[in-house]
Amino acid sequence: MARTHILGFPRIGARRELKFAQEAFWRGETPEAALRETGTTLRRRHWQLQADAGLATVAAGDFAWYDQMLGLTALLGALPKRFGFDAASLTLAQYYELARGNAAQPAMEMTKWFDTNYHYLVPELDADSTFDGGPTWFLDEVDEALALGLATRPVLIGPVTYLYLSKSHVPGFDRLTLLPKVVQAYRRILAQLRERGIEWVQIDEPVLCLDIDAEWLDAIDRAYVDLVDLVDLADAGPKVLLATYFDTAAPHAARAAALPVHGFHVDLVRAPEQLETWLQVLPANAVLSAGVIDGRNIWRADLRAVLATLAPLHAQLGDRLWIAPSCSLLHVPVSLDAEQRLDPELKSWLAFATEKLEELRTLAVALNQGKAAAATQLAASDAARESRRTSRRVVNQRVQGRLAAVTADMADRASAFDIRIERQREALQLPALPTTTIGSFPQTTAIRQTRAAYKRGEIGALDYLQRIRGEIELAVRKQEALGIDVLVHGEAERNDMVEYFGEQLCGYAFTENGWVQSYGSRCVKPPVIYGDVYRPEPMTVDTARYAQSLTDKPMKGMLTGPVTMLQWSFVRDDQPRATTARQLALAIRDEVRDLEAAGIRIIQIDEPALREGLPLRRDDWTAYLEWAVNAFRLSAAGVSDQTQIHTHMCYAEFNDILPAIAAMDADVITIETSRSAMELLEGFGEFDYPNEIGPGVYDIHSPRVPTVEAITRLLERACEVIPPERLWVNPDCGLKTRGWPETEAALANMITATRQLRGKLASQPPVTWKRVTQPAPGSARSAAAAHAHGTACDPNCAGQLSI
């Protein structure tokens, strides 16, 4: 009998119960007991769903009060010393201080979980780190499930992944020296599970899907040999299911197969081709858990196709075949039940976490009892697939035709940057070090109430328009008073930079409750791209035209780029992401051209999510960057030389994709840099980024007003690495989370610092910056320069794109 299981379930609750309970606790409105009660209720409900769907085991230990990595840090007892907490007696309140900071200590760092939009708290380790155990929460949850009489399979992130994802403030510290201690802690935990009669434990090592070097691979060998031998698991259990996900683990399959573990989970949605390799190396008694239901997307599976994959596996492996989603269901919303307003046809194509459990049940029934036993469910799956394949909602011949007619030169501006920038300077007449902002201004309560009232139908369209125009005028007046050179309208009409455009594009749908945890209590509700995307009518032109009519200064048009639109949505799985990106690019291209025709001379196309889309394995980077950069260029290149295209990126490591960023060929890029004291900018300088740059001169996350001196220091540093004639001055990112008083004070200081520096630059001989004028042939520098000038460069360089 093939059995079914899951790697984890969303913890937040169908109605975001955990979020609201957490936040009430943080505000001091409810006692810890109330929060704990919510946690217990959610776990119980989610286990019941799993049991009801006939899963062989329920997953325990996937719950987290904030984050699973923080939970593991607590379980191991490896708390950052700077907080001074005693791990064994850690309270929930202290746990939240680790996650959110307190008066004395900043929060633990947070970063993205692999290539998902989930963020985990980064363990902070050094030579003195201890792993003597922490609170008993993990085991309590296992006991909770056992007490309910449920067959329970606990879940742990593995020791090597834990260390790999951690960081140390001590330069040069080798985290792997901690491996023996960490393994010792896992050994203790496994022994505790054995005492409870647990048969299987799932240990996640998704690092096996990354390009890890020999040292880390050796660590896998050492960890598991020690772990399993020491606990003598072979006889007494628990058996270990080693789980990998998010990409192929095939390159390490042979090595993994030699470990003394008892089964392997592999992601056959992201990397179906790895199956063959795993079948070749799978030890005779080992379990293979086939991740065949997409844990990262919301589409209903084509169950008949999945069965075609599973049937021969079942014939070969029998009981040793387990069926599962590709990864934890953490990355999809909880249940379609909460969607009342979704179009019924579209809804019939979807499966959220709860519906995915049902898909697993159908697969198990069909495999174990024959397809006839699951005939109704299979027929429903077929019908959904057929309806999706042929629906007029999905396929739009005009979009397809347009896409087919796209030519390579459509992604090229008319002239090279050197020529364009001269024309733009002439047209725009901006001062040296032009000042601007990233787009949004404070989203005040009044603005949010206006939008909400309009959505609820309490105010009419005209009233809404007038109020939004009032906000735009306010923003324009304030910017003029401050003396900013390039203005923005402030984005009062947008609550979200993807949703705002998605709502106006065909091919996009929005859920009511399709929430996915982003971090802690924060959830996002990604829109769904279900069909060919097109723009039925202009989206921002009226707003931009109105804003421009209020001022003689240039008003930036403000758009979200195709890659970010794609990255922050649930996307179609029936065509390559690259194709969807091109459709989005064409829609945005139309908007860019319409803005230009309406007299907007500067247009910013934000791409903060460009880097997020990078595949986990470096081998796949070039292909991704090629289509992503091409989509951006396609969206931007339809304008004349005089029209200045900006882009904006933030909060990511960009230094390793600088050639691609240069290849986007935006006239100006504004980037977030102030938090790293311009470290990022140094990368741009070293690489000799060819176009203009606006490094963020202050952090927008804090209400603290940066001093003129602090901004001056950053600007002077910037002048050392970027020629001042190519520098812009702006904050790190949009200002929508800030209030007006601090925003005005900060921008006033930014303007003062800029004016002082302009004076200094005017009185100084030019060229104070260090620049290598003759880059060595074949260097990244020369590749970018070659690209910017339209000549060929190294074919391995992401800067050379077949556009």
Contact of 510 with 499, CB cutoff 8 Å? yes
Q: Quick check: 669 binds Zn ion (CB under 5 A)? A: no
Task: Kindly name the residue from 252, 646, 701, 789 that is annotated as catalytic.
Answer: 701
To Zn ion, the closest distance from the beta carbon of 738 in angstroms equals 13
Is position 672 annotated in a ligand binding site? yes
Nearer to ligand GLN, 440 or 540 (CB): 440
Q: Quick check: 648 binds ligand GLN (CB under 6 A)? A: yes
DSSP code, position 124: B
Task: For the segment 598-627, give every residue that binds ligand GLN (CB under 6 A).
Answer: 606, 608
Q: Quick check: 650 binds Zn ion (CB under 5 A)? A: yes
Burial (Cβ within 10 Å: 0-12, 13-18, ≥19) of residue 386: exposed
Contact mark string toward ligand GLN, 534..573, x via CB under 6 A: ------------------------x---------------
- For residue 384, give the 3-state DSSP assignment: helix
Is position 606 annotated in a ligand binding site? yes
Is position 493 annotated in a ligand binding site? no
Of 31-39, 323-331, 354-362, 729-737: span binding Zn ion (CB under 5 A): 729-737
Is position 568 annotated in a ligand binding site? yes
Contact of 294 with 326, CB cutoff 8 Å? yes
Of 24-32, 198-206, 229-237, 730-738: span binding Zn ion (CB under 5 A): 730-738
Give the whole-angstrom CA distance, residue 783 versus residue 552.
39
Of positions 183, 336, 363, 438, contacts ligand GLN by CB under 6 A: 438
Q: Quick check: 324 binds ligand GLN (CB under 6 A)? A: no
For the chain, counts of helices (H) and of strands (E): 29, 19
To ligand GLN, the closest distance from the beta carbon of 409 in angstroms equals 29
Structure tokens at 435: 């000042």
Give the whole-angstrom CA distance, residue 367 versus residue 315.
9
Is position 739 annotated in a ligand binding site? no
Of positions 185, 588, 650, 680, contacts ligand GLN by CB under 6 A: 650
Q: How many residues form the binding site for ligand GLN (CB under 6 A)?
A: 13
Of positions 72, 90, 360, 497, contacts ligand GLN by CB under 6 A: 497
Is position 439 annotated in a ligand binding site? yes
Using Cβ positions, the residue closest to ligand GLN within the complex turns out to be 734
Of positions 244, 326, 440, 540, contacts ligand GLN by CB under 6 A: 440
Q: Which does 119 bind (CB under 5 to 8 A by kind): Zn ion, ligand GLN, none?
A: none
Is position 650 annotated in a ligand binding site? yes
At residue 136, what is the residue type? T
Which residues pair with residue 606 across a beta bridge? Answer: 560, 648
Is position 19 annotated in a ligand binding site? yes
Give the whole-angstrom CA distance, residue 54 versus residue 67.
27
**Proportion of the chain in helix, strand, coil states, percent, rounded to 5:** 50, 15, 40
Contact mark string toward Zn ion, 395..424, x via CB under 5 A: ------------------------------
To ligand GLN, the closest distance from the beta carbon of 558 in angstroms equals 6
Q: Which does 507 bind (CB under 5 to 8 A by kind): ligand GLN, Zn ion, none?
A: none
> Which residue from 324, 308, 327 is spatially nearest to 367, judged by alpha carbons?
308
Give the number of C-alpha atoms closer than 13 A to the C-alpha of residue 520, restricted to the C-beta side.
Answer: 18
Please confirm whether the linkage preceding 690 is cis (ω < 30° from 0): no
To Zn ion, the closest distance from the beta carbon of 491 in angstroms equals 12
Is position 779 annotated in a ligand binding site? no
Contact of 224 with 261, CB cutoff 8 Å? yes
Is position 646 annotated in a ligand binding site? no
Contact mark string toward ligand GLN, 730..749, x via CB under 6 A: ---xx-x-------------
Of 232-240, 433-441, 549-557, 703-711: span binding ligand GLN (CB under 6 A): 433-441
Task: For the segment 88-147, give every residue that binds ligand GLN (CB under 6 A).
Answer: none
Long-range Cβ pairs for the range 411-414 (8 Å, 24+):
411/630, 411/633, 411/634, 411/637, 411/803, 412/633, 412/637, 412/803, 413/636, 413/637, 413/639, 413/641, 413/645, 413/665, 414/640, 414/641
Given phi > 0 = left and psi -120 to 50 = alpha, else beta, which region is 30?
Answer: beta
- For residue 55, give the 3-state DSSP assignment: coil
Nearer to Zn ion, 288 or 650 (CB): 650
Give the number of C-alpha atoms closer than 13 A to the C-alpha of residue 324, restricted to the C-beta side.
Answer: 31
To Zn ion, the closest distance from the beta carbon of 492 in angstroms equals 17
At residue 36, what is the residue type? R
- For residue 509, give the 3-state DSSP assignment: strand
To ligand GLN, the closest distance from the beta carbon of 439 in angstroms equals 3
Is position 797 annotated in a ligand binding site? no
Nearer to ligand GLN, 316 or 702 (CB): 702
Q: Quick check: 788 binds Zn ion (CB under 5 A)? A: no
To ligand GLN, the closest distance from the beta carbon of 314 in angstroms equals 46
Of positions 295, 439, 514, 526, contacts ligand GLN by CB under 6 A: 439
| 66: Cα separation from own chain's centroid | 17
Given phi > 0 = left and psi -120 to 50 = alpha, else beta, which region is 253?
Answer: alpha
To Zn ion, the closest distance from the beta carbon of 498 in angstroms equals 13
Give the number of C-alpha atoms closer than 13 A to the C-alpha of residue 154, restricted to the C-beta side.
Answer: 31
To ligand GLN, the closest distance from the beta carbon of 94 in angstroms equals 32
To ligand GLN, the closest distance from the beta carbon of 739 in angstroms equals 15
Question: H or E stretch including 21?
Answer: helix 17-26
Task: For the segment 595-634, give every residue that binds Zn ion (CB under 5 A).
Answer: 608
* Catalytic-residue membership of 701: yes
Give the whole-angstrom CA distance, residue 564 versus residue 553.
28
Q: Which does 736 bind (CB under 5 to 8 A by kind): ligand GLN, Zn ion, none?
A: ligand GLN
Of 232-240, 303-311, 384-392, 438-446: span binding ligand GLN (CB under 6 A): 438-446
> Which residue from 740, 230, 722 is spatially nearest to 440, judged by alpha carbons?
740
For 299, 390, 530, 716, 746, the CA distances from 383, given in Å and listed in that order, are 14, 11, 17, 64, 58
Is position 16 annotated in a ligand binding site? yes
Is position 522 annotated in a ligand binding site? yes
Angle between helix axes 137-147 and 32-52 (nearest 10 degrees) is: 50
Nearer to Zn ion, 527 or 608 (CB): 608
| Residues involved in catalysis | 701
Binding-site annotation: residue ranges for L-homocysteine: 438-440, 491, 606
Binding site for Zn ion (CB under 5 A): 608, 650, 733
Give the interface with ligand GLN as residue ranges (CB under 6 A).
Answer: 438-440, 491, 497, 558, 606, 608, 648, 650, 733-734, 736
Residues flagged as binding site: 16-19, 112, 117, 438-440, 491, 522-523, 568, 606, 612, 648, 650, 672, 733
